[in-house]
Amino acid sequence: MGELIEVTDPADPRLHDYSGLTDIELRKVREPAEGLFMAEGEKVIRRALTAGYPMRSMLLSPKWAEPMRALIDTADAPVYVGAEPLLEAVTGFHVHRGALASMQRTPALEAGPLLARAKRIVVLEDIVNHTNLGAIFRSAAALGMDAALLTPRCADPLYRRSVRVSMGTVFALPYARLESWPGGLHTLADHGFRTIALTPGPTAVDLPALRFGPDEKVALLLGTEGDGLSDDALAAADLRVRIPMTAGVDSLNVAAAAAVACYAIAAAPADS
């Protein structure tokens, strides 16, 4: 491998994976349907490969052929090289992260087997913003979570912006999408998880007071941007916790709140 294939026609069918990347609504449908996702830049592409996603192809401009040589040599897929105006015509934007790779999605994980082997998980209820989703995955992966469960309406962690914001850490955190919600909450109980709802509600327990048994299975529930967790999720949770805040500020962004809560769970002293 490592051979560069020159492309000159924006309509070249071999570049189909890369077309119209700025049309979010279209790509949100197309990418899962066609079984692909986009990785941008050497570090993120390498992390996708390390996580076991097969490469379908790579696309870059001539000036990046040398800097990307080591990656190109390991690529088990066609590597297309085109002038910058061609790349821009195909993708819809100026490609400035060196290389784009079209990666093959692998079969989705199922919640059951994932929950059977995980001990600390985040459950994301209808997080719809890709930037928040990528940031939450990055923090959760860094701060000791083993897995993520997504509600049916939660955004796609493999969408380009989520992947980029997470710096490829979305690949490091196994995840599964629940088939129903709030019905899926029962699955958590069935697998012995203690569910902890993060909410600014005044009746919730302060986060620093959290204690866990050494082998306790813990699921942190995080709600949608703006409205937070649904009443169903709050009612079903074993415990509601809040981040203590200074008077005058009523909430944190959900990605900041997720980072704080994951840290606090990881750092919580054991139940004595």
Residues whose CB is less than 8 angstroms from the CB of residue 193 and which lie 6 or more positions away in sequence, other chains included? 115, 121, 217, 218, 219
Tokens representing residue 251 in the block: 């909430």
The Cα 168–Cα 161 span in angstroms is 10
Which residue of 58, 207, 218, 219 would you call a contact of its own copies, by CB under 8 A?
Answer: 207
Which residue of 169, 187, 199, 230 would you call a contact of its own copies, by CB under 8 A?
Answer: 169
The Cα 133–Cα 122 span in angstroms is 12
143 binds its own copies (CB under 8 A): yes
Between 75 and 135, name the residue whose CB sits nearer to its own copies: 135
What is the number of helices (H) and of strands (E) in the chain?
10, 12
Burial class, 199, CB count within 10 angstroms (exposed 0-12 / middle 13-18 / buried 19+): buried
Which residue of 62, 144, 152, 201 would you call a contact of its own copies, by CB under 8 A?
Answer: 144
Between 77 and 172, name the residue whose CB sits nearer to its own copies: 172
Q: What is the DSSP letter of 180?
A: S
121 binds its own copies (CB under 8 A): no
Q: What is the DSSP letter of 64?
A: G
Which residue of 83, 109, 172, 234 would you call a contact of its own copies, by CB under 8 A?
Answer: 172
Least distance to its own copies from the beta carbon of 41, Å? 13
Least distance to its own copies from the beta carbon of 115, Å? 19
Selected range binding its own copies among 110-118, 163-171, 177-185, 189-197, rule: CB under 8 A: 163-171
Residues whose CB is less than 8 angstroms from the CB of residue 248 and which lie 6 or more positions away in sequence, other chains included? none
- x/- map, 223-252, its own copies, by CB under 8 A: --------------------xxxx-xx-xx
Which residue of 72, 121, 255, 265 would you call a contact of its own copies, by CB under 8 A?
Answer: 255
Question: Phi/psi at 253 (nearest 5 deg)?
Answer: -60, 145
Helices (H), the chain: 24-34, 42-50, 69-74, 84-91, 111-117, 130-142, 160-165, 185-190, 231-236, 254-267
- x/- map, 13-42, its own copies, by CB under 8 A: ------------------------------
165 binds its own copies (CB under 8 A): yes
Q: Which residues of the shown chain bind its own copies in the complex (CB under 8 A)? A: 135, 138-139, 141-144, 165, 167, 169, 172, 207-208, 243-246, 248-249, 251-253, 255-257, 259-260, 263-264, 266-267
